[in-house]
Structure 1
Amino acid sequence: MTEVNDAPQSPFDDLPEDAAGPDAEAIAEPNAEAALLAALDARDAEITDLKDRVLRAAAETENTRRRLERDKADTAAYAMTGFARDLLAVADNMRRAVAALPAAGESAAVDLVRAGIEATERELIAIFGRYGVTRIETEGQKLDPNRHQAMLEVPSDAHEPGSIVAELQAGYVIKDRLLRPALVSVAKAS
């Protein structure tokens, strides 16, 4: 007669003893849970570190995008800076031409030339204005080293020390940037 075993059978009962694998031994050890928790904690720390890296990379990409957009806007706004700076010499020469002409009323021909030069100068200043190029005010101002360049100091009782006495050459800004400083003489205590 065959012997009947009433005990429930496990699928692992038929396996040889070492076929259960190394995990079976690890589970049997009391430190296995601690090792598994440590591995999970290390994995969580790595995931957190990777998330942090991804967020930092995304922030850096966004900052670079904003910087490039700002640079693009600046380039569009100030693209004509070199051209405008070159045209300032033309405006200066027109002013000098008017100043070099004899006094008004001496000759009808000279008056016509004066009127033509002044009209051309007004048109040039209007064009400058359309593109954001404006003249720096100097009359009655205190010296501002960001906008004015002091060429000489003159003793003056009529002006307070550090104030502008005369403009030697006009200065200009393009929008909010300095295009050329105004060359001025500045009062000093006498």
Structure 2
Amino acid sequence: MAEPKKEEMGDTLDALAEEGATLEAEIEALRAERDEMRDRFMRALADAENIRKRGERDRREAEQYGGSKLARDMLPVFDNMKRALESISEEQIAANKALIDGIELTMRELLNVFAKHGIEPVVPEVGDAFDPQKHEAMFEAPVPGTKAGDIIQVMTEGFMLHDRLLRPAQVGVSSTPAR
């Protein structure tokens, strides 16, 4: 057999080196593609987990606060029944005891239904400090014996739905300057 010529051996080595470089470049390209796919996969997993958590949170909020529109619409009913009960005189109580007992029972039942659904009254007292997170100031007036920011009158009760304000209590606030 004839020995390969030096030239042919050099060409073969060059071809092998070129092929090795090509293979190395392909391997690097595949590694980069693998890393990109892994990154995209991890991002997709994180997105799916975030969507699951958001869906769970939205479901809980819908459960707790979904009835807030109906609850808000029921508050005037409460206000009117309360005003009706407060306006009854002693003579009317004696003359219409059964009717008034029915109205009081209906009012208690309404409050029980509110409580069952997480609706709690916000009932400030005269002399309490004004809290803008729970109260709505309807007027300010200087009243002797009070300090600025004290509640001087309560017009309507407020209501909370779980931890959210459904309606602020409407109050009058003292504007008496501090001495």
The bucket for the TM-score relative to the shorter chain is 0.7 to 0.9
Q: Greater relative contact order: 1 or 2 (C-alpha under 8 angstroms, separation 6 or more)?
A: 2
1:28 aligns with 2:15: yes
Give the gaps of 5 or more residues in structure 1: 8-23
Cα distance change of structure 1 residues 26 and 101 upon mapping to structure 2, 3 Å threshold: farther
Q: Does 1:138 align with 2:124?
A: yes
In structure 1, the partner of 2:5 is none
The one-character-per-residue Cα deviations of 1:165-187 (angstroms, maximum 9, x if unpaired) are 22111111111122111111111
Q: Secondary structure at the match of 2:69?
A: helix
* Residue of 106, 122, 125 corresponding to 1:120: 106
**Normalized per residue, which structure has more helix?**
2
Report if the CA contact (8 A) 1:26-1:32 is conserved. no
Over aligned residue pairs, what C-alpha RMSD do you find?
A: 2.6
The Cα of 1:144 is off from its aligned counterpart by 2.2
2:143 paired with 1:170: no
Gaps of 5+ in 2: 3-10
| Over 6 Å off, 4+ runs | none
Answer yes or no: is 1:41 the counterpart of 2:34.
Answer: no
Paired residue type of 1:52: D
Shift of 1:63: 0.5
Aligned length: 169
Of 24, 45, 49, which residue of structure 2 is paired with 1:62?
49
Aligned pair 1:148/2:126, yes or no?
no
Comparing 140-149 with 54-63, greater Cα deviation is found at: 140-149
Bigger radius of gyration: 1
Cα distance in structure 1, aligned partners of 2:136 and 2:91: 36
Q: 1:27/1:151 Cα in 2 relative to 1: closer, same or farther (>3 Å)?
A: farther
Residue deviations 1:79-123 (CA, integer Å, cap 9, x gap): 222222222111111111112222x25761145544332222122
Q: Identify the residue that residue 18 of structure 1 maps to in structure 2.
A: none
Q: Which residue of 1 aligns with 2:170?
A: 183
Aligned partner letter, 2:138 = M
* Identity value in percent: 38
